[in-house]
Chain A
Amino acid sequence: MTAPGGTITPAVSGAIAGHYLGLVADGDELGATELVDDLLKDGVPAQRVIVDLIGATQARVGDLWAANQWSVAREHAATAVGERALAAVAARTTTPTARGRIALACVDGEWHGLPARMLAELLRLDGWRVDFLGASVPGRHLITHLHQTGPDAVALSCMIPTRLPRAHAAITACRSAGVPVIAGGRGFGPGGRWAERLGAHAWAASGEEAVTLLADRWPPRNMTDFPLPDGEAFIGDEEYTHLVRSRPQLIATAMDRLPVAYPPAHDYDDAQLEATTDDMGHIADFLAAALYIGEQTIFTDFTEWTTYVLQSRGVPPTALRIGLGLIRDQLVDFPTATSMLDAALAGLPAR
């Protein structure tokens, strides 16, 4: 991509990134796609546009939402602009297929499709034939696709740990179908440490890392552990099973007891009650994921992040403390769950 005469490859400057964030903030599809077009015309490599402009901005958008500076509507509109900009990159670049075929999907229930879509483009630029199956792909559809197309790899994206049990089911099925799996996304934990536990052959921290790994170290050597090392096809235990099965009861009881434990809840309107019910559901779901993997961190990360998100919206940590307590009271017979809740409670900031 170096211009004739040996000039330095143009890059995405901070000023351009700042301008692009402005376009994204306005939901200005046209402006964003024209900016991308111009960068490509100026010789900026498509990979840099994807990673340094579209990807970096998307991370900023998430931060702005978490800090309550942006509304949900604006975050979604911004993400849509990112997808259009990415499509513009795809439309303006062609790469001959020089490598194998890869299927790329977000885990069932995982709706953060943009990171996976960016990886799809990066892989395509690296010469892979890519089948991007989209956000929230049911496991069965993924496996059907594998039998129909016989790819050399499956790349599975998971951004939220609550989807890990379903990611595990998908990975196990891919292995059974004889296709190696590369996992990606922060849902697989810091450094992807839960990816291997769930049977993935590899994990990549970023799209670019995934591209390098698939180019240099594929197929993986441990393919012969077929379909799975003994005893790893089933994980999770009876505490996990109980928590998932009794989820509706758990939430209903917590909501019944809420006004006594937290008097302001007496005056909640329907929307507030619904939002609180959702929050109870999140507590149950993250706790279930932590139990499934056997990792306290999954739950503690969730409570820390929730504390931050609530604080930036003016909600005191007491509310979360009470929520955790209401769930804990119903799980006294479950030592692992109780100790996870206790550890999370101990980590909450004082009111």
Chain B
Amino acid sequence: MTALRPAPALLEAAFEAAREAMVLCTADRVVVMANEAARHLLPSARPGSPAPAPLPADGADSFQAEHEGRQLYGMRRELDDGHHAWFLRDHTEELARTTALEVERSRTAFLAEAGRRLSASLHMRRCVRTAVELAATHLADAAIVVLPPERRQSAWTRLLPGLPVEEGTLREPQLGEVPGLLEALGGFPPIPSRWLDPSQAPGWLVPAGFGPVGALLVIPLPGNAEPAGALILARCGPAAVFTSEDEVLARIFAARAGAAVSAAVLYREQVDTTAILQADLLPPELPEPEGFELTGAYQAAREGLRIGGDFYDVFGPAGASTDTVIALGDVCGTGPEAAVLTGKVRQTLRALRLVHTEPAAMLTVLNEALLQQSSRQPRFVTMVIGSVHRIDHGRVQLELASGGHPAPLVLRHDGSVEEVPTSGTLIGVLPRTVVRPATVELAPGELCLLYSDGLTEARGGPTGTEQFGEGRLHQALSECRGMPGAVAVERIRQLVSDWVRGGDSDDIAMLAVRAPTRTPLSLRGGGAPAQSPYVIAARRGDRRPRNF
């Protein structure tokens, strides 16, 4: 088998050709042999010379070191009593790749966090605060967002790590003091950091404790076809720089922050517009007329806007009439379309009230008015109109007229509940309406409730599909005997809410008129309360609390 034993020259050639760098040394660290790969890494490893650095002299069996700009890793193996070998690896590229990967990973994590947090809120101020928080944590020593000027003032938000977020406004001329800021707010492409002279930054840009600004970066926040603002990043210290990688990352971040801020701007514009439109459609603040209590409650259908097809309104004494006119109705359908018709009906009533005071007459004229307006879809209203005034002995008289609406209920002082005998046809459908008005009188403590059918038709209960129904409403109202109007209405709202148990319900409107009792309400069995120094002529005449 001798033919298979390789010649020393052959072994030497194989050693020389190996891709792994190998250095053969004697026990006293003299190089015996180094192959080509080893000589490439350690040119001074020549036979006969002492083992060069970074091969360790202390007998360690491995090392990791930087040598002439390369990352070297070596392992020592004992070959025989007098010799050992070093096997060397060049980790330079691998390390560079790992570092690049880590940088990339932390950027991805940062951008993912930025996306998630920036998309959380549609509120402008919160979005801007989130943007400076993210930027000050990941991109720079100080982050400032400046919004485009509005009425010659620009709002700014600033954050330095360890300090609370600061907010303020700048006058428009001051914007020009920050290098690159006018360009960023003017929609020009971002200017590289190296062209911005940090020494030109005005003193107000960062607090005094920050020290001189070493590097400055000003980036536009892209928005709805115009910048949503500008992001200013500053690093402190004379050696500070923004590398081109830093700038790229900051621009990507700015794009996301800009998108979030401009979405918030759009949302705010929409909210402002809607609020103006809604203001006339939402239930009115009720007056506190002399001689009777008025309580209203309105609950919009769960889905959609907080406005819908049910409404109530109250018109105080006007012109020659001293009566208060109340109205509660239900426009067919829900949502904005119904709300718009609701607004028309309420406006018409407001005007009508100045010429007519009889509820039945008001319904008839309203019917004509609605028939005359052209509409793509037939729209009708059911409603109750009432004219309320005080009569003698604390009693209250209501004249009520219904146009196809559920009859109002009256709660008597003995707890019985009556339906007011008024009826009539729908409003806005037929050229001729038939309205039968009715008059009711309320003694002190008695209450008249106008309501929309959303109340009785609310589905829920033990089966989840049963209607609340008139029976339950009568029962619930009967249990409100002795309660102030506001308490009674709140209690019925609560009972219906418990009934539907969070399920969908239609709009619900309620309006209660109550003849007040003289205080105290004798709900309590016992005698009069002990007089205290704090009760100072508590029961003077008709005085009622009116400030709230």
Using Cβ atoms and an 8 Å threshold, which residues of chain A touch B502?
108-109, 166
Looking across the interface, which residue of chain A has its beta carbon closest to that of B126?
A150
User: Could you say which residues of chain B place their CB within 8 Å of the CB of A149?
Assistant: 123
Which listed residue (B463, B487, B494, B524) contacts A80, Cβ 8 A?
B487
Q: Name the interface residues of B505-548: CB closer than 8 Å to any CB of A.
A: 519-524, 529-530, 532, 534-536, 538-539, 543-545, 547-548
Binds B, one of A30-38, A122-130, A261-269, A304-312: A30-38
Q: Of B125, B519, B536, B545, which contacts A150 at CB under 8 A?
A: B125
A147 touches B545 (CB 8 A): no
Contact present for B534 and A38 (CB under 8 Å): yes
Q: Are A147 and B482 in contact (CB under 8 A)?
A: no
Q: Is A98 an interface residue (CB 8 A)?
A: no
B273 CB to nearest A CB, Å: 13
Within 8 Å by CB of A19, from B124, B461, B529, B547, lies: B529
User: Which 7 pairs, one residue from A and one from B, show the smallest C-beta to C-beta distance?
Assistant: A150-B123, A22-B529, A26-B520, A87-B548, A27-B521, A147-B122, A178-B120
| Contact yes or no, B524 A146, CB < 8 A | no
Which of B486, B521, B544 is close to A28, meaning CB atoms less than 8 Å apart? B521
Bound together, the chains give a CA A148 to CA B267 distance in angstroms of 8
Chain A residues within an 8 Å CB radius of B519? 26-31
Contacts A19-B530, A73-B481, A91-B547 hold; do A26 and B524 have CB atoms under 8 A apart? yes
Tell me the count of chain B residues lying within 8 A, CB to CB, of chain A. Answer: 55
- Give the docked Cα–Cα distance between A31 and B545 (Å): 10
Contact between B530 and A147, CB atoms less than 8 A apart: no
Tell me the nearest residue of chain B to A90, going by C-beta. Answer: B548
A123 → B minimal CB distance (Å): 18
Closest CB-CB distance, B480 to chain A, in whole Å?
7
Structural contact, B544 and A30, CB atoms closer than 8 A:
yes
Chain A residues whose C-beta falls within 8 Å of the C-beta of B501 in the assembled complex: 109
CB–CB B534/A35 < 8 A: yes
- Bound form: Cα–Cα A58–B490 in Å: 17
B219 CB, nearest partner CB in chain A, Å: 23
Is residue B153 within 8 Å, beta carbon to beta carbon, of the partner chain? no
Chain B residues in the interface with A (C-beta under 8 A): 116-117, 120-126, 130, 267-268, 271, 302, 306, 461-465, 475, 479-484, 486-487, 490-491, 494, 497-498, 501-502, 519-524, 529-530, 532, 534-536, 538-539, 543-545, 547-548
| Interface-central residue, B462, B521, B524, B547, by most chain A CB under 10 Å | B462
A39 to B: closest C-beta gap in Å: 7
Cα A33 to Cα B123 in complex, Å, equals: 39
Say how far B477's CB is from chain A's closest CB, in angstroms.
12
Q: Which of B130, B484, B524, B545 contacts A33 (CB 8 A)?
A: B545
Complex Cα distance, B462 from A251, in Å, reads: 7
Q: Using Cβ atoms and an 8 Å threshold, which residues of chain A touch B120?
A: 176-178, 226-227
Please provide the chain A residues from 274 to 329 with a CB less than 8 Å away from any CB of chain B in the complex: 277, 280-281
Which residues of chain A from 241 to 268 have any CB-CB distance to chain B below 8 Å in the complex?
A: 247-248, 251-252, 255
Instruction: Jot down 20 A-B pairs with beta carbons below 8 A, ordered by A.
Output: A16-B534, A18-B530, A23-B529, A26-B519, A30-B538, A31-B520, A34-B534, A38-B536, A73-B482, A109-B501, A111-B497, A148-B271, A166-B502, A177-B121, A178-B130, A179-B126, A226-B116, A251-B462, A255-B462, A277-B461
